[in-house]
Structure 1
Amino acid sequence: MELGGGEWEKMLIERLPVLPGLPSRSCRDEANTVGEPSQTSNTGLFHLSEEVLVFILRFLDPFSLLRAGSTCKRLFRICSCSSIWTRHCQALFGVSFRTSPVSPKDAFRLLFMWRKLYQMLPCNRHFQKKLLAEFPPPRYWIQWLVLEERVPLPPVKLPDFEIEYIWGVKKECFDETHKEDSETCTGYIFKYDWKELYHLTLLHHGSFGNLLLHVLNRQNGNGIQTLENYFSMCKSLVAWILGRDWGRLKRRKVYHDTLEGVYRVLKTEMRTSLIDHDHFWQVAKVQMARVCKLEETAVNYVNWKMIDSGPYYRLYLVSGNSIYLEHIKGFLRRKRLISDWFLQDENLWVRHLLSEELCQLLEFDTKILEGSLHGDTLSAHLSRIIWLYLHSGQELYMDAVKGFVLECAGARLKFYSSVNTGFYSSSSSDRECLNTHVELCANEHFLTYG
């Protein structure tokens, strides 16, 4: 039997709970009569009533639901409906959070982020330092750890009042066998393995759901919420940058460097408090202006990639002091001087004799990373001298670069001459002898020039 008109929608509305705060059907009909007539010919989701939308959105997975809610204000409000998120919380965590002070959507977000954060602990060096460097960890993170039965940390030693404050376990529940000999002015010290503490807390609260509620009720706007808020604003910044027609600046490096600058500026503040949205955007726009200035100073993309690992690049992003731009210009000018000297016609014999690795270090577009400065190899020696010249500008180091390169080339020339005159026998060990001879000559030069 077919249902005519809006009878199917009426039956569906009767079966679905009305969202709190939404206007009733009669109010919407009244609004339609006062304003313009409703367009019954419209198609798409927005033509449906909000009750029907709720029914449809219940079939989405959590990530699709969040993406749908980010499209417009109306869908955001509907996608935040508690009746949708209670189903996901029940399915993933075994608790619906229907009567919790924390909304089901917030509970899902926080618990899901903690689960992912904890699963990635072996790969997350920053989070490892946060947990392992200070033991016991700060109160915020230590309260989340009790949700895990197996924690790769030493047994926890805390006063009885701290355990009661963090996990809500009464002092009467503590086992005397876990009491330490040491005593504070306000209570006794107890030592628990994390597995024992997990079961003790679970026994006290009665169920894992009650334990989740206790941890969620202790939220104070820091920690996971701070991270979540920061990264959500990063996504909006990326969308803002890519949504504008800026020609050559519409590239990944612009917003990558902008976000790095934002993180450096807000890093300390982000550890203690929630970053305000307006404050984030204020810092982001300043950082982006500085990134554009650095790109302009570099002149081209090759230069830009070359200077981004230097100290002056990062210092300018944080401070905005124009003196660092002058240092960057000097860096590029000195890099060009080294390349021009190496490419002179009179140094043709040097280019033929030097190894490919050393030749690359002297080319303009070669980026010298800090990690390549360590070691006793010829390339490490040359990298250190070039690095000192590029960042100091002292001609002493430029002379050292020239002397080192000529010494290496001269050592190879002597070796080849001796081979041709028969002083050395031509064998498979010639190359090894050559490298040893060049290194000895280069080391003598390095000791001479410091």
Structure 2
Amino acid sequence: MFNNLSDKLDKALHVLKGHGSITEVNVAETLKEVRRALLDADVNFKIAKQFTQTVKEKALGQNVLTTLQPGQLMVKIVKDELTQLMGGDAEGINLSGKPSIILMSGLQGSGKTTFSGKLANYLKTKKSKNPLLVACDVYRPAAIDQLHVVGGQIGVEVFSDKGNNDPVAISQAAIAHAKANGHNVVIIDTAGRLAVDEAMMTEISNIHKAIEPQETLFVVDSMTGQDAVNTAKAFNDVLNFDGVILTKLDGDTRGGAAISIKSVVNKPIKFIGTGEKMEAIDVFYPSRMADRILGMGDVVSLVERAQEQFDEEEARKLQKKIAKNQFGFDDFLKQIQQIKKMGNMKDLMGMIPGAGKMLKDVDIDDDAFKGIEAIIHSMTPKERTNPAVLNASRKKRVAQGSGTSVQEVNQLLKQFNQMSKMMKMMQGGGGKKMMQMMKNMK
């Protein structure tokens, strides 16, 4: 996420992060490089210029040159200004209606249909809502089928009427259906349209007037950069939408849309899409995104994701097993499943401060655990419970069954044993011993 921008900003701020002398000259030179990095990321020229000018004024106003840690203070000013540029505080979604109506708009291929499903899943699982998805793309039959597939994946009802070519009538019928069947949120997926297509823009304007949604969201592909910002402005002139959704942030995004869009249309980014899975949706926090852009990670979001998957009862059972030295591969498999539910692996690693930079050229597949899972599934229940019984012939059978080698099986067993010892050490007073061992290693 924003790897190129992060690298360039890191290089630009490198001089100021060091302990060398900092002068007005190298502050100016650094900010010139910061502006260049923003422009390379497809940030609007005026915004990039204003941004660096504001940072310079604040830096000189706070006497950065004479502070004990000028580099750190400078980075903080850049981080604070980036946060403000992207919106300052996170904006929630308005669910005040009965039912709450959410209208999705955007260009073709921006990911509206998929994101409609992600949003429905988010509201169902995180907000305990009973959403209804509505197929109002009457021009692309595959869009209706796609929404039904998405709805089936997440267990959310989809309302459609293939015999009707009037999206206004379909949306009104869907709202009546929602009221009659206890749905408290209605998410209306509309056809993709170009801002220059007057007939199509009039159509979505008519839908908007007819249903009076609590939320009108503009879905935009973040990989389109500055073009996304220009399109958002054109849509906003017609719809006066309430917020922006940035999709495909897991790709090689330049970052221009995320940084510029709030300043141009004065509407907040409310959610971001971070992968293909239905769970790959995050509330947009400008401060956390600024941290990630500057290579500081996002520990808060990482902890939040972990807490969502945390089961206190399971944790207590696991603790007892570790204490009794009964931690087996079935327990290990459960831990892997919980990690996988947290999201895209590379995205998770990028939330750890410093890890993003180390992993920038490393391709971490979402199937990173596939080989491990195959090995564990090829074990018998007895072998998973008591790995010590795995002798040479058993290891050979497990390797053949999982499509791996005996060496890979041995490597997994070695890692498992090391992890088991560490977990045992962390029980009771073992944590103190471990801390002492780490001190002795220095």
| TM-score between the two structures when normalised by the length of structure 2 | 0.28
Between Structure 1 and Structure 2, which shows a larger proportion of helix residues?
1
Which has the higher relative contact order, 1 or 2, with Cα contacts under 8 A spaced 6 or more apart?
2
**Bigger radius of gyration:** 1
Between Structure 1 and Structure 2, which shows a larger proportion of strand residues?
2
